[in-house]
Structure 1
Amino acid sequence: MKVEFYYSQRKYECMVVLLPDDQGEKKELRIRNHEGEILAIRQGQKTALRGKSRATSQEVDILKNNYYNLIKAAVNALDLAEKYKLLKDKDEEIRLLNAEIAIFREKANLTDTERGEILQLRDQLKTLADQQNIATFNYDEQETESKLIKRLGVKAWENIEISSKNDLFSAYKHKYLVESDIFTEDFSDYKPSCLYIASVVEREIVQSFFKSFYHFLCKQNPMQKDFAIAGVILKNRGKYTIGSLPYLIAKEWDTFSDEILNRDSLSNTDRDRLYYHKVNDQKISTSDRQLVNEFLEQWDHPVSGWLSGNQKAASKIDQIAKLRNLTAHPMPIYKWQFTELWLLVIGGKTKSGRNQKGLLKEIYEKSNAIH
């Protein structure tokens, strides 16, 4: 299995191969950089071969020049990929076994043989579940749902789409996977979790807003099919980015500094410079801004009150957009970046110990208070 990973802001590929040995076979880890140079480490050896071919390679000490950390990152990437593959395989086995049990249950009369088969299938399910819940990766869907409801609130959980719930489950699952004991925070990539969480914001807030706003504009201008407001083109079945929304709802907001946001760690000094105040540089006319306000006033949706009544709404959405945009880059999403996104959307305890509400909870708590 070949796996891509990043170390010290550089992309590598790694794989394990079996080589003949006097005592049978031994594993060799091969790490390849973007220049085609390979570092080959034989199992149990303290030296490695480095070069573009074995014939011209040089022997190096793996305890020098950060080779050890590079090797550790490669091993962690391989472990993560294998763990994720096993998890997907187990999920599929459980799904198929559940389907078999469902088929048996649909039959009115079961023979003794079929009853025995059901019990056997249940035993298989228990075994698979036990294999999944090993010490290094303890994921339980019911427990996860309880944690999400606690963070988001019952109202939000009941109102978001099934697809969003599934995305949150997937974000949680990958979060647990990369934070299990056999992995280190330094080499974890939270990109999948970030994509899942961003998808929830796109679906529940961004697409919901633009779709309804488009229908509102169509009612006012029945002969027109496309509309341009603050640099955003609204059209039937249009696709919209998270970052386009702040320009329609605010004149200024606080967002992340790109320089600090792209760092692999966040020091206390960096945190003091993490945000800057941005002024809306997209020209939006007074009449268009009035249109947006009129739409929000008549839009019967929990997001409406939050967008128009929360002074930090534009800031939070733009910050989420910047974190979402990081996933398009080749670099991994580091834990501190993921934590910022997690706190913005889902909520939790900050580094200072303060409890922060996520925007989903804010939206539906405000809606509940109004009604």
Structure 2
Amino acid sequence: MKTIRERNFDFECGNEDMELITFDLATVSRATDNFSNNNKLGEGGFGPVYKGILIEGQDIAVKRLSKCSGQGIKEFMNEVILIAKLQHRNLVKLLGCCIEGDEKMLIYEYMPNKSLDYFIFDGTRSKFLGWDQRINIIGGIARGLLYLHQDSRLRIIHRDLKTSNVLLDKDMNPKISDFGTARAFGADQTEENTNRVVGTYGYMSPDYVVDGLFSIKSDVYSFGVMVLEIVSGKKNRGFYHPDHQLNLLGHAWTLWIEGRPLEVMDEVLDGSCPLPDVSRCIHIALLCVQQQPEDRPNMASVVLMLGGVGSLPAPKQPGFFTDRNPVEADSSSTMRESHSINDISVTLLEAR
């Protein structure tokens, strides 16, 4: 008896008619031990994620749409349509889905090393991420983004790039995940305006948050934030320093203009990495988070820069290099690492 069957779905979005592997609810339930808490990997805006093992022995990750989720059928279908068409070693692979009764689930390849934020923001686990692994992760994310922006069948803007949406396989290779709020662009389209701003505080660019404009350059900004987080081992939002009230971007910028950029480096890396390479990564990150989108490089240029090709221009002031109000500043002095908002996606509705 087959546990997997195929059928065609008409998703209505763009009149797509595509063949997709679907899993029976009984198969998924059996694989996850009836969605046991012991198999729960975590929970996001979409809903809980469970580890499962198919009868054939294949490990899977099951993302189950929660009935009280802020995301819904639109995001579910959006992710299915977009990621089913994408194939790249630095993108998480969608194996299929389950749509049965009220249940809507996405089935992915299982990533045994969880997400990037699980490692880099933990004082103990971050020690397992040496410089070679960190630069490999940065390069992998960059190549995945380049594929999305330029080399895939569609031009995809992710819109919610962050460390928790980068998963790590058994060899610690990065894979971009969570395409529920991603958007596809036409071949000649460079930007779009929206009244529904979605993303995560600390990673969203000023042009996106303030003006509702998203483009490949808003993804580039998010990438720059992640690079600084990977190099420093610190979160952008929730960052604390006794001498100022700046976030991580502001701290890195201050050190840059004072000629001390290497002080942003994670202390666990001290003495174990080539300092010119670290400095170049910080430089590239600051180019990516510049205030104006036209000043930021595209991902093709970033990949070349990371490969050591060419000299780098001087960065201009980053956007959102300070984002605390007095209440946040007061709370950060007593709860330095407690800002959970860095890990949750938000939706901002702007008046028309």
TM-score normalized with structure 2 length:
0.30
TM-score normalized with structure 1 length:
0.29
* Higher CA-based Rg: 1
Higher helix share: 1
